Amino acid sequence: MECTHKKFAKETIEKEIFDLKFRHKTDVCKDCGAYLRGKEFEKDYMHWLKRIYKKRRDKFQVQCSFSNNLLKCADSFLEDYPGISHTVLMRLLVTVYVNVVDVNEKLASKFDSLLDSEIYDSFLNDKDKKKINIQFKPKMMLDLVAISEVTDMRPYQIAEQGALKMMSAITSQDKKLKEFWEKEIRSYLEIFLKAA
Ligand SMILES: [Zn+2]
């Protein structure tokens, strides 16, 4: 039977993230040990993360491997955006994928059904790979951690997969996928590219 959390006591909880411990005093259920994540908790947590972010940028970095053919396609896409590196593009692709596509179940499954598997697989299976460190902001890193907790995937795998899907849509000549990209995703990426 699920606990209905009737009796609480103030306790200091420890939450582990990025191999560090966040401590916070909050209401803890006396029966099951669940703790309350109210406004105070979230505020404190964000403050703590921002402090960590200043000192430990490496904790907000994800190391991905991308095939050279994918990076070549990225570079040719970026010819229209001088000054933006393919590392920055990968960060933007992951950001748009997670915040626009992945949060919208309908959009995500439509995207998957249109995905150009030939291109996706060529990016995925190319043995010639390069490691790239992508630096995220705290909020984005939290999103990746949250997704990783429910999908059994590591944050770097989520980032790789998102970037691969986005790059295969950019590269594909498939008419339906192109239409979908233009209508549903492109404008979001443009906003980020302009701000980068
Ligand atoms: Zn409880």
Distance 32 CA to ligand 1 centre (A): 4
Give the chain's domain count: 2
Residue 130 lies in a domain: yes
Class of residue 165 by CB neighbours under 10 A (exposed 0-12, middle 13-18, buried 19+): buried
Looking at residue 21, its pLDDT comes to 95
Distance 2 CA to ligand 1 centre (A): 8
Distance 146 CA to ligand 1 centre (A): 22
Residue 176 lies in a domain: yes
Shared-domain flag, residues 108 and 177: yes
Residue 164 lies in a domain: yes
Task: Please state the length of the chain.
Answer: 196
Residue 1 lies in a domain: no
> Is 1 a residue whose pLDDT tops 90?
no
Shared-domain flag, residues 146 and 68: yes
The parent domain of residue 49 ranges over: 8-55
Residue 3 lies in a domain: no
Distance 1 CA to ligand 1 centre (A): 11
- The pair of three-digit structure tokens given for residue 67, joined into one six-digit string: 């095939």
Shared-domain flag, residues 24 and 68: no
Shared-domain flag, residues 95 and 21: no
Cβ-Cβ contacts under 8 Å for 156 (sequence gap 6 or more)? 62, 63, 64
Distance 26 CA to ligand 1 centre (A): 14
Shared-domain flag, residues 69 and 48: no
> Is 54 a residue whose pLDDT tops 80?
yes
Looking at residue 18, its pLDDT comes to 86
Distance 141 CA to ligand 1 centre (A): 29
Shared-domain flag, residues 91 and 51: no
- The pair of three-digit structure tokens given for residue 110, joined into one six-digit string: 């439509």
pLDDT, mean of residues 38-53: 93
> Is 124 a residue whose pLDDT tops 80?
yes
Strands 129-135 and 61-67: antiparallel
Looking at residue 196, its pLDDT comes to 84
